Structure 1
Amino acid sequence: MSLSANGRDIDVFNGDADGICAVHQWRLAYPADTELVTGAKRDISLLQNLSASYGDSVNVFDISFDQNIHSIRQLLDSGVKMTYFDHHSANTRFEHPGLTMYWDDDPKVCSSVLVNNALGRQYSEWAIVGAFGDNLSNTARKLATSLGLSEYQVGQLCELGKLLNYNAYGESLADLHFHPALLYAEMSQYKDPFQMITEASAFRTLQRGYHSDQLYLNSLNPTETGKDAILYVLPDQSWARRISGEFANQLATDNPSKSCAVIVPKTNSAFVVSIRSAMPDLHPANTFCGRFLTGGGRRSAGGVNILPASELDHFVRLFFQYFSE
């Protein structure tokens, strides 16, 4: 349990579908007036500027352990109690009396599933939403089958997951339809995801935005294609930054035998990259992305947050080499 008797309760979560569904499940089980720390999908170093001290309780959902290792050590050494749920690479993980960690990098697992398991599957519908958003369709469908959901209900949860995930992508918060904290605030009113789908204005807004941005994809062609991999470079537009993550997921679904890369220009003469591995055990995405300074992720999906323009050609060569070995 994460409630702090004397200090503050602080929830830190990735602004994508998996992160937001993970913290939502936790707070359905343990309601509290908490401080929220979140951001766009690529804002993964959220613990760096966190102000917490002895007696505070920090709960982290779907944030890379490796990317925040120094902050984690400092917070724990200052007397902060920390509960951590994640499925990204955690090569630097360690044991500490103040740290309770739920971690699994199995490609079939996401943070929402880890929270769901820790809570005895009390809110599995939200775990299904998070899994669909994280492009773990088989995991989501397996959970849905255990609940006896109809195909129509599964489709509804799938759409909600994709829309929540779509909202998180952008170079900055200005690219997003909703700040993830505001989206979570609306989402927190609903114990039942089907009620949110029916009633929430945010759902309608994201639905319209997603379909509008998706129309641009009809005119896109691959920048480069190989036997085992496919790569797209999108234009320098807000719609491209918003749709890039779901487009990468769509490519992975439509091309199950090919690893995929989606590259989008940033405003500072650099690029941001999304990777999906067709063979995560043989060619883990996080291993490849880890070759770059701002790269990371998990075995099935990873990314590079800042790829300098001068490294683009080198990146493309390495991408096709690595995923064709």
Structure 2
Amino acid sequence: MTYIDVFNGDADGICSLVQLRLAAPRNAQLVTGIKRDINLLKHVEAGVGDEVTVLDISMQKNHEDLEKLLLNGAEIFYADHHNPGEQVAHPNLSAYIDVSPTVCTALIVDKYLNGQYHLWAITAAYGDNLTSVADDLSSKYGLSSKQSKVLQELGIYLNYNGYGANLDDLFYHPAALYQACVQFSSPLEFIEQDNKVFDTLQTGYRADILAAQSEKTFHETTTLSALILPNETWARRVSGVYSNQLSNENPDRAHLILTQKHDGDYLVSIRAPLNKLAGADEVAAQFKTGGGRKGAAGINALSEKDIPVLIDLMETRYS
């Protein structure tokens, strides 16, 4: 029997797997990548007797490979909060899908595990910019404001580490980051005892945010703010978390961050208004490489000629 753990390389994917493996340790193959590398099942070979865990990647984007693995006889546990498209049904598939805008995959796993490692789920919720949800959970479990703030920082930094055009853009490979985190039943213990990782990500995050704040918007209305970042490593790392920061600062406005790519196209982060968490996935789906969830989505390759089209779609959707 072979165990294979497949997970998104962001805070949600990492914290989801941490919870599961703390509850049920396994010596598993790890399949992951940058945050936007969501077609991960294409890298998996499994058959009868093998168990595959899939976390925080769209079933819609992995539909064909998922069906192939099931046809080969693999048993699959699948938890996710992205639009699944046409859901796959099979006796060997245990699927836990919830696309509610106030849910992330780690919260789905937290529910599945009856809250055994809820601090990791709260960390993921902060990382996915579900701040009010995470704040409520922090209060429910009696965390101090200081503890909540530290979990929020860790969630943001884990999420930040997943962004980049390739693994070389990241401070840590997501698999290595997961392996560091899973040594601790609590993220508070992780921060205290493995502070080198936390400090490295904090320093990088602060420097990249400062650089992003020096860039000017090219489109700004009461409905939408849009910004272009240069083709630089720091810009690729910070695009998603800076989108979240702008959303928190202006919760009634939608946000776009377009990051220039080597080939002349743009990598796009889409954020629905925090006070109206809907539609980001619908806008992204209008483009071939787009996808995501209701509150936050992205486009992996947008041509320059399509920028006005995207702006119009956003203005129409949120006006």
TM-score range, shorter chain: over 0.9
Contact 1:52–1:75 (Cα < 8 Å) also in 2: yes
Displacement of 1:198 in angstroms is 1.4
Displacement of 1:170 in angstroms is 0.5
Distance across 1 between alignment mates of 2:260 and 2:31: 26
Distance across 2 between alignment mates of 1:179 and 1:283: 31
Relative to the length of structure 2, the TM-score reads 0.97
Is structure 2 residue 307 aligned with structure 1 residue 301?
no
Superposed, 1:14-53 pairs within 5 Å as 14-53=8-47
Q: Partner residue of 1:212?
A: 207
The code of the aligned residue for 1:196 comes to: F
Distance across 2 between alignment mates of 1:136 and 1:204: 23
Relative to the length of structure 1, the TM-score reads 0.95
Distance across 2 between alignment mates of 1:172 and 1:196: 26
Is structure 2 residue 113 aligned with structure 1 residue 113?
no
Contact 1:280–1:299 (Cα < 8 Å) also in 2: no
Q: Say if 1:281 and 1:90 are closer, same or farther in 2 by CA, change over 3 A.
A: farther
Q: Partner residue of 2:308?
A: 313
Give the one of 177, 180, 183 matched to 1:186: 180
The code of the aligned residue for 1:221 comes to: K
Give the one of 140, 151, 155 matched to 1:157: 151
Q: Partner residue of 1:4?
A: none
Is structure 2 residue 91 aligned with structure 1 residue 101?
no
Q: Partner residue of 1:126?
A: 120
Distance across 2 between alignment mates of 1:178 and 1:234: 22
List runs of 5+ in structure 2 lacking aligned partners: none
Q: Say if 1:91 and 1:281 are closer, same or farther in 2 by CA, change over 3 A.
A: farther
Deviates more, 1:210-219 or 1:176-185: 210-219
Q: Partner residue of 1:141?
A: 135
The code of the aligned residue for 1:316 comes to: I
Distance across 2 between alignment mates of 1:35 and 1:133: 25
The code of the aligned residue for 1:83 comes to: F
Displacement of 1:8 in angstroms is 0.6
Displacement of 1:279 in angstroms is 6.5
Structural RMSD (CA): 1.3
Distance across 2 between alignment mates of 1:198 and 1:43: 30
Q: Partner residue of 1:255?
A: 250
Distance across 2 between alignment mates of 1:280 and 1:81: 39
Distance across 2 between alignment mates of 1:316 and 1:179: 34
Displacement of 1:52 in angstroms is 1.3
List runs of 5+ in structure 1 lacking aligned partners: 1-6
Distance across 2 between alignment mates of 1:278 and 1:197: 31
Contact 1:107–1:280 (Cα < 8 Å) also in 2: no
Distance across 2 between alignment mates of 1:234 and 1:323: 23
Q: Say if 1:11 and 1:120 are closer, same or farther in 2 by CA, change over 3 A.
A: same
Contact 2:248–2:274 (Cα < 8 Å) also in 1: no
Q: Partner residue of 1:11?
A: 5
Give the one of 232, 236, 240 matched to 2:235: 240
Distance across 2 between alignment mates of 1:131 and 1:232: 25
Contact 2:281–2:292 (Cα < 8 Å) also in 1: yes
Distance across 2 between alignment mates of 1:223 and 1:54: 54
Is structure 2 residue 89 aligned with structure 1 residue 92?
no
Deviates more, 1:80-89 or 1:141-150: 141-150
The code of the aligned residue for 1:66 comes to: Q
Displacement of 1:266 in angstroms is 1.3
Contact 1:236–1:264 (Cα < 8 Å) also in 2: yes
Q: Partner residue of 2:219?
A: 224
Give the one of 192, 196, 210 matched to 1:198: 192
Contact 2:56–2:81 (Cα < 8 Å) also in 1: yes
Distance across 1 between alignment mates of 2:300 and 2:315: 19
The alignment-based identity, stated in percent, is 41
Contact 2:243–2:270 (Cα < 8 Å) also in 1: yes
Displacement of 1:49 in angstroms is 2.5
Distance across 1 between alignment mates of 2:70 and 2:87: 13
